Amino acid sequence: MNNTVYIRAMSQEDIEIILKNYAKQGWSKPREVLEKYFSSQTEGFLYVFVAECDNDVAGYTVLYPDTGIGPFAFQKIPVISDFIVFEKYQCKGIGNKILDAAEKKASEMSDKVQLGVGLHSGYGSAQRIYIKRGYVPDGSGVWYNNEPLAQYADCKNDDELVLFLIKELRREK
């Protein structure tokens, strides 16, 4: 393994590789989600940043120019979503390269970028990288199923329990 990492747009061939890499970790991802990412990227509705290392997909993330969910819905603040670095590629700086590319593109659209991060321990690595990169809680509290969670409300600590973070960017024109 030479560890040379390239960040590029998603190709249709990546779908199978990503599905296999999820399966190797004992995780699953609906094929339809990845197919939708690819078609939406092709139509110009979003951007998918894929990290390629040794002819393999090491990870990826999706950048939405705007979204209808979260505390900044429809405010033209780009959203980073579905950020993953597969386990065998973690701790090699690949996540930072993916986020660098997504943030650079976001800076062409806005002076801010946002994301939601899960709160259970499975998101621990993502929580740490986001904080180290300057993301801060947006102040809207915890969200569950794309809605703000009311104070003292019961919830389940699953993938739908998230905290939204925001980062100020240096705007690129």
Classify domain 5-168 by CATH architecture.
3-Layer(aba) Sandwich (3.40)
Strands (E), the chain: 5-9, 47-53, 56-64, 79-85, 112-118, 136-144, 147-148, 161-168
DSSP 173: -
The pLDDT mean for the chain works out to 94
- The pLDDT value recorded for residue 170 is 80
- Tokens representing 50 are 């894929």
Average pLDDT across each block of 10 residues of the chain; the chain has 173 residues. List them in order: 85 97 94 98 97 96 92 92 95 96 97 96 94 96 95 94 95 62
- The pLDDT value recorded for residue 73 is 86
- The pLDDT value recorded for residue 69 is 85
Q: Where are the domains of the chain?
A: 5-168
pTM over 0.75: yes
- The pLDDT value recorded for residue 70 is 87
